[in-house]
Amino acid sequence: MNKKTMLKLFKDLNFKRVSGTDGEKRAAEYFKAYIASLGLKSVIETFEVKSGKVKSASLKADGKEIPCRGYRGAKSVKELKAPLYYLRANDAYSLSQCKDKIVIFIGYLGKFRYEDLVKNGALGFISTNGNLNEADRDIDDRELRSYVSEGLELLPGVNINIKDAEKLISSKPKEVCLSLQGETTIDTSYNVVTYIEGESKEEIVITAHYDSVPLSVGIYDNLSGSLALLGIMEELMKTRHHYSLRFVLCGSEERGLLGSKAYIENHSDDLETIRLCVNLDMVGTTLGNVIAVCTTEAKLTISLEYKGFISCYPLSVSQGVYSSDSTPFADKGIPSLSFARIVPNDGLIIHNRYDTLAHMDVDNMFADIAFISSFVKEMADAAYLPVKKAIPDDLKERLDEYNGRKRPEPKVS
pLDDT for 331-344, tens place per residue?
A: 999 999 999 999 88
Residue type, 218: G
Instruction: Round to whole Å and give the CA distance between 146 and 154.
Output: 10
Reply yes or no on whether the pLDDT at 245 is more than 50: yes
User: pTM for this one?
Assistant: 0.95
Of 168, 184, 200, which residue sits at a domain end? 184
State whether 205 and 298 are in the same domain.
Answer: yes
Residue 413, pLDDT above cutoff 80: no
If asked whether residues 236 and 295 sit together in one domain, one would say yes
- Within this chain, do residues 119 and 240 fall inside the same structural domain, yes or no? no
- Mean pLDDT across 256-279: 97
Between CA 389 and CA 190 the distance in angstroms is: 28
Q: Taking all residues of the chain, what is their mean pLDDT, rounded to a whole number?
A: 96
Cβ partners under 8 Å of residue 247, min gap 6: 42, 193, 194, 195, 196, 205, 206, 207, 229, 232, 233
Chain centroid, CA 222 distance in Å: 9
pLDDT of residue 347: 64
Q: How many CA atoms lie within 13 A of 267 on its CB side?
A: 21
CA distance 339 to 315: 10
Confidence of residue 412 (pLDDT cuts 50, 70, 90): low
Q: DSSP per residue over 42-104, as a string?
A: EEEEEEEEEEEEEEEEEEEETTEEE--EEPBTSPPEEEEEE-EEE----SHHHHHTTTTSEEE
Average pLDDT over residues 265-293: 96
* pLDDT for residue 407: 92
Is 413 among the domain residues? no
Q: Are 293 and 352 in contact (CB under 8 A)?
A: no
What is residue 308's predicted lDDT score, i.e. its pLDDT? 97
Domain span holding position 201? 3-50+188-402
Q: What is the per-residue pLDDT for 411?
A: 65
Q: Are residues 44 and 70 in the same domain?
A: no
Strand partners, 209: 250
User: Mean of the pLDDT values across residues 84-108?
Assistant: 97
pLDDT value of position 36? 98
Q: Is the pLDDT of residue 250 over 80?
A: yes
Rounded to an integer, the average pLDDT of 298-304 is: 96
pLDDT at 346 over 70: no
- Please report which confidence band the pLDDT of residue 136 belongs to, taking 50, 70 and 90 as the band edges: very high
Distance CA 18, CA 29 (A): 14
Segments in 204-289 forming alpha helices (H): 224-236, 258-266
Mean pLDDT of 52-57: 96
The reply to whether 299 and 235 lie within a common domain is yes
Same domain, 232 and 261: yes
Task: Please say which residue of 139, 160, 184 terminates a domain.
Answer: 184
Does pLDDT of 93 surpass 70? yes
Q: Residue ranges of the alpha helices (H) in 101-249?
A: 111-119, 146-149, 162-171, 224-236
Specify whether the CB–CB gap between 180 and 70 falls below 8 A. Answer: yes
